[in-house]
Structure 1
Amino acid sequence: MRYKKISFKNSDGHQLSGRLDFPLIGKPKAFVLFAHCFTCSKNLKSVDRISHAFTQQGMAILRFDFTGLGQSKGDFADTNFSSNLSDLKDAYDFLEDNYEAPQIMVGHSLGGAAVLHVSGELDNVKAVATIGAPSTPDHVTHLLDKGRKELEEKGEAEVNIGGRTFKMRKQFLDDLEKKERDGVIKNLKKSLLVIHSPQDNIVGINNAQEIYEQAMHPKSFVSLDGADHLMQKEEDAKYAGSIISSWASRYIEVEKQKEVPEGEVWTRVGEKGFTTEVIAGRHQMIADEPPSVGGDDYGPTPYGYLLSGLGACTAMTLRMYADHKKIDLKEVEVKLTHDKIHLKDGENSESSKGKIDQIKRKIKLTGDLTNDQRKRLIEIADRCPVHKTLEGKPDILTEEVG
């Protein structure tokens, strides 16, 4: 995906590190702000996959490291839930000042509690989504294990969270206790999507129930069945991203954008990988390669699109012919494959390797058809415009443009 490394100062003067992911082509339909989980960072693999889902929907998404985490400056021991909320507001302001105010807020775990607390104050936010979020921010104290007692007795301690050691101070606990809870979710006044796994052993599913029951409509709940709290399985993060980004597209306000002229197709690939956005008119698609050749398999291969074009053209041509001749053609199914095959002895070829491209097309016709009608329809299939273009070996003119 196309992205830009960014940094901005928070209200305490610390430099926060972020990454802004863009759609591969065109102006973003909207901007999204993502808040990561407690002690995590913007570079969590699941966040990558969720971000990719948003860029595929034509939206840009900002994810950043909270103070003292990842590549952001500051001391984590000096932070608390209130400072997280302040960082989120600073990120919102950064987008509003430099790009466009975010319309969508997404939060994972404690980041979900943070977006619930802060979004009600942000006028441009239209919708909020949480993933595995606690219903109250003080839920995080359950993660402190034995360190909580030392924190309360000595005022600071090194605590183990998720296998990593962090220095914390008692002010973190004090801040959670003082944080207002009543009415925050009920008074959110934003469209809300709650995603949670019943198998989440870090933040129990009861938290999702409490959030959902407190929230006013419009609200939705989606079960992320089988997923762990961090969505470490690729399919879980992709599923969450696809659900949230599709849901969010219902609530964003989109400026009418210039469409690609009819008859033109635009494609663009980013700095890394093969994932390519394809735009034809007002339709957006993704092309990619399979993992076996270094791709991410986010869409069909270029040859997949080539065969799709031929198959679609074949089916449409037969539909048009049958309608014109009033033939009882109920359905057309076309199956295509592409291979490189060796030439038979005696055949000439410009290919030094002695291979040619071969496309096999199998057509299934359903309807009350006579044998003559079936035979004629198969003949007509060879007259589809894409078929004739491929057989005609079109000239392809290539030039560099500025």
Structure 2
Amino acid sequence: MAQPSIHEGQSLPVIQQQRVIIRNKYGEKLVGVLHETGSAELVILCHGYRCSKENKTFKNLAAALEEEGISVFRFDFAGNGESEGSFQYGNYRREAEDLHAVVLHFSEAKRLISAILGHSKGGNVVLLYASTYSDVHTVINASGRFNLERGNESHLGTDFLQRIRIDGIIDVKDDTGKFEYRVTEESLMDRLNIDMRAACLSIPKDCRVLTVHGSKDQIIPVEDALEFAKVIPNHKLHIVEGADHGYTAHQADLTSIVLEFIKAGIQQEKRRGKM
């Protein structure tokens, strides 16, 4: 556990960072960090492809939410970071189930899940979650991909479909030729068969969804954000001018947009008498 820290000049509670382990439905240990402010409200952060809870953006978001007295939980999906399991290409719905295990854990502890936020692949995961479960009413999709048939060539090469049909596997290597992970036909089809349009249309109307995307994103084009805006029932779109996929020079912009949306959701829930 990290040493408690007190915000200078503020009367906020002592904030602790606690290591928390939660088992998913497959018995794998999901490792996360709870930024505990003592609030009933809790925001859950979901990382992207080949990333982890240690992402700089997530640490910045957690610090900003702490300043508002809101607790945060950032964790590693199975097969990523410190969590158990093997990394799988695709795995979107299974990661949504990991998120469900986390939501249930904190709900059983009488915490109120005020928002779930996912970046990149994590954005798809939180949207899939909202299309399946109705227990979280504020969802933030940061730079998610609308069409999952796109983007595979950058990871697997232009001939990936032919190779997977012939060999049944693709071994992905880094620039030095070192093996990174194996893609199976099953895991590739898991990604290609996800229909984000259908999933988004299934999100309940009482679920507030924010899509935030950088106008200069070179990994997932900003056009994907516009597609989400067309089909999600209760949706707000915010394009961050000049921002790249990781909001490298626009961390403060992202934080401000996210905080405003989350705080508005908490106030709305309080008016409903749910918080």
Shift of 1:31: 1.0
Are 1:204 and 2:218 matched, yes or no? Answer: no
- Range 102-111 or range 160-169, more displaced: 160-169
Residues 200 and 33 (structure 1), Cα distance of their counterparts in 2 relative to 1, 3 Å cut: same
Which residue is equivalent to 1:105? 116
Aligned-pair CA distance for 1:162: 9.5
Q: Any idea what the Cα deviations from partners look like across 1:30-51, whole Å, max 9, x if unmatched? A: 1111111111100011110011
Aligned to 1:55: 66
- SS of match in other structure, 1:67: coil
Once the two structures are superposed, the pairs formed by residues 38-77 of structure 1 within 5 Å of their partners are 38-77=49-88
- Counterpart secondary structure, 2:198: coil
If asked which structure has higher relative contact order (CA below 8 Å, sep 6+), I would say 2
Q: Give deviations 1:254-310, integer Å, cap 9, x for gaps.
A: 59xxxxxxxxxxxxxxxxxxxxxxxxxxxxxxxxxxxxxxxxxxxxxxxxxxxxxxx
Q: Deviations over 1:362-393 (max 9, x none)?
A: xxxxxxxxxxxxxxxxxxxxxxxxxxxxxxxx
**What is the CA–CA distance in structure 2 between the aligned matches of 1:97 and 1:138, rounded to whole Å?**
37
- Give the letter aligned to residue 94 of structure 2: S
1:398 aligns with none
Matches within 5 A, 1:343-362: none
Structure 2 match to 1:34: 45
Taking structure 2 as the reference length, what is the TM-score of the superposition?
A: 0.82
Pair 77,181 (structure 1): closer, same or farther in 2 beyond 3 Å? closer
Distance 2:216 2:148 in 1: 20
Return 5+ residue gaps in structure 2 as ranges.
1-14
Q: Which residue of 2 aligns with 1:151?
A: 164
In 1, are the aligned partners of 2:214 and 2:247 still within 8 Å (CA)?
no
* Structure-2 separation of matches of 1:132 and 1:155: 30
CA deviation digits over 1:310-340, x for unaligned, max 9?
A: xxxxxxxxxxxxxxxxxxxxxxxxxxxxxxx
SS of alignment partner, residue 133 of structure 1: coil
Structure 1 regions of 5+ residues with no counterpart? 256-402
Residue identity in the other structure for 2:32: G
The code of the aligned residue for 1:223 comes to I
1:7 pairs with one of 11, 15, 21: 21
* Structure 1 equivalent of residue 189 of structure 2: 174
Equivalents in 1 of 2:174, 2:238: separation in Å?
27
Aligned to 1:227: 243
Are the structure 2 counterparts of residues 196 and 15 from structure 1 closer, same or farther at C-alpha, using a change threshold of 3 Å? same
Instruction: Please tell me the root mean square deviation across aligned C-alpha atoms, in Å.
Output: 2.4
| Distance in 2 between residues matched to 1:246 and 1:159, nearest whole Å | 40
Q: Which residue of 2 aligns with 1:213?
A: 230
Please, which moves more after superposition, 46-55 or 199-208?
A: 46-55
The TM-score normalised by the length of structure 1 is 0.57
Q: Percent identity, please.
A: 21
What SS does the corresponding residue of 1:134 show, helix, strand or coil?
A: coil
Deviations 1:48-95 (A, max 9, x none): 001112222221121111111100111113862221111111111121
Q: Greater shift after overlay, 116-125 or 56-65? A: 116-125
Question: Post-superposition, which runs of at least 4 consecutive aligned residues in structure 1 deviate over 6 A?
Answer: 161-164
Q: 1:34 touches 1:62 (CA, 8 Å); kept in 2?
A: yes
Q: 1:181, CA displacement in angstroms? A: 3.4
SS, match of residue 183 in structure 1 = helix
CA contact (8 A) 1:55 1:61 kept: yes
Contact 2:80 2:87 in 1 (8 A): yes
Give the drift of 1:2: 2.6
CA contact (8 A) 1:84 1:114 kept: yes
Q: Which amino acid aligns with 1:31?
A: L
